[in-house]
Amino acid sequence: MANVFVTRKIPESGLKLLQKKHTVRVYSKDQVIPRRELIKGVKWADALLCLLTDKIDKKVLAANPYLKVISNYAVGYDNIDIDAAAEAGIPVTNTPGVLTQSVAEHTAALAVALAKRVAEADSFTRKGSYKGWEPMLLLGTELRGKTFGVVGLGRIGSAVADIMHKGFGMDIVYFDIKKDKTFEKRVKATFEAVPQLLKKSDIVSIHVPLLDSTHHLIGARQFRSMKKSALLVNTSRGPVIDEKALVAALKNKTIRGAALDVFEFEPKLTKGLAKLPNVILTPHTASATEEAREAMSLIAAENILAVLSGKKPKYLVKK
C-alpha cells in the first residue's frame, strides 16, 4: 500500500481505481490547493496526482525526495518543472488522447461561433436590442472554401483540422516542427511556415504546448501580418499569445475577432479584453466534458498504478 495524494476532487473513476490498492487522500476543499497544503501533501505521499493549476517547482519537489511519480491530470504539463523532476529522478505523466475530441470540438465550436457572431448575437438579443429583421444586422462570414490555419499539429490540432475540413469544407494549412504527409493527404493540407500561415489564414487556431520558444509566439507583429478579417482561436495555453497586443489588435481592428479558452494571466483577464464585443471567452473548459474528464481521471490513476508496481506508465512525459 502506498500513499497517493490528490490535490483536488476529480471524477470518481480514477479515485476508485486507486483506492482499491492504495491509501488515497484528496485535498478536502474544492479550490486550488494552497502551497502549504500542497507541500504537506507531497511530504506524506508516495505518488502525487496534481492539476494544471498546481505549480510543481523545485521547492515542492524538495519537500519529498522519495516521491515516486507525479501524475498530471492534463495533457499540458507546463505547470511542472520537468527538468527539476528529471534531476530528482521522479517520472512525470500526463493524460493525452482522451481529451483530444473534447478539445477539438470546443475549438471548432469557438471558430464557428466567431464566424457566425453567435455570442454577439446572443447578447444583442438578450439585451432587448432586437427590434425587427434587418438586411445588414450582424453579418458574419461563411467557412466553406476559406483557409483554416493550424499552428501545432499534435493530436488536437489534427483533430480540429479534420472537423473544419470534412465538416465545413475549409482549406487547411498547418505548421509544426515536422511535416506530416499522412495528414496532408487526408485533409489536403499544405505546410507553411508560421509567417506565411498567418498571412493566408482566415481562421488561425493555436495548438502548441507552452515552451520558452512558444511564449508570445503571436504578438503585435504577427497580428499586423494577418488578414484584417482574420479570426484567432486559442485553446492551448494563454501565454502563447501576447494578450495586451491582442486587445490592441482587436480594438484597432487589425484582426476581426478572437476566441480564447486560455489566458495569459489565468484566471485573470487582461484589461479591456472582456469589454470587446468581438471576442468569445470560455473559462478553460475545452476538455470539460463528462467523457473526457472521467477518462482523464482513469488514465491519471493508471499512470500512478503502473509506476507504483514497477511498470512503465502509458503516458510518460519526455523532456
C-alpha cell at 11: 471524477
User: Which listed residue (21, 44, 76, 219) binds ligand GLV by CB under 6 A?
Assistant: 76
Total interface residues for ligand GLV by CB under 6 A: 13
R_g of the chain computed on alpha carbons: 21
**Nearest distance, CB of residue 96 and ligand GLV, angstroms:** 4
**Nearest distance, CB of residue 294 and ligand GLV, angstroms:** 14
Q: Cα separation of 165 and 111, whole Å?
A: 13
- 237 catalytic residue (yes or no): yes
Q: Cα separation of 216 and 307, whole Å?
A: 35
Q: For ligand GLV, what does the binding mask look like between residues 107 and 136, x meaning CB under 6 A? A: ------------------------------
Query: What separation in angstroms does the CA of 61 have from each of 4, 57, 58, 270, 313?
Result: 15, 6, 5, 31, 20
Asked whether position 96 contacts ligand GLV by CB under 6 A, the answer is yes
Q: Would you say 68 or 237 has its CB closer to ligand GLV? A: 237
User: Which listed residue (10, 90, 99, 317) binds ligand GLV by CB under 6 A?
Assistant: 99
Asked whether position 52 contacts ligand GLV by CB under 6 A, the answer is yes
C-alpha cell at 133: 429583421
Asked whether position 11 contacts ligand GLV by CB under 6 A, the answer is no
**Nearest distance, CB of residue 52 and ligand GLV, angstroms:** 6
Asked whether position 298 contacts ligand GLV by CB under 6 A, the answer is no
User: Which listed residue (6, 24, 61, 74) binds ligand GLV by CB under 6 A?
Assistant: 74
User: Which listed residue (8, 117, 207, 293) binds ligand GLV by CB under 6 A?
Assistant: 207
Say which of 106, 237, 256, 293 is annotated catalytic: 237
**Nearest distance, CB of residue 191 and ligand GLV, angstroms:** 17
- Buried residues in 2-33 as b, exposed as e (16+ CB within 10 A): bebbbbbebbebbbebbeeebebebbeeeebb
**Nearest distance, CB of residue 234 and ligand GLV, angstroms:** 11
User: Which listed residue (64, 71, 93, 100) binds ligand GLV by CB under 6 A?
Assistant: 100
Asked whether position 247 contacts ligand GLV by CB under 6 A, the answer is no
Asked whether position 155 contacts ligand GLV by CB under 6 A, the answer is yes
H/E stretch holding 281: strand 279-281
Strand partners, 72: 50
Which 3 state secondary structure label does DSSP give 161? helix
Closest-CB residue for ligand GLV?
Answer: 154
Asked whether position 172 contacts ligand GLV by CB under 6 A, the answer is no
Q: Would you say 157 or 257 has its CB closer to ligand GLV? A: 157
Strand partners, 279: 258
- 36 catalytic residue (yes or no): no
- What backbone torsions phi and psi does residue 24 show, to the nearest 5 degrees? -110, 130
Say which of 105, 184, 266, 294 is annotated catalytic: 266
Q: In what order do the strands lie in the sheet with 92-93?
A: 23-26, 3-6, 47-50, 69-72, 92-93
> E strands, 73-189, where?
92-93, 147-151, 171-175
Whether the CA torsion 267, 236, 79, 71 is positive or negative: it is positive
Active site residues: 237, 266, 284
Residues that bind ligand GLV (CB under 6 A): 52, 74-76, 96, 99-100, 154-157, 207, 287
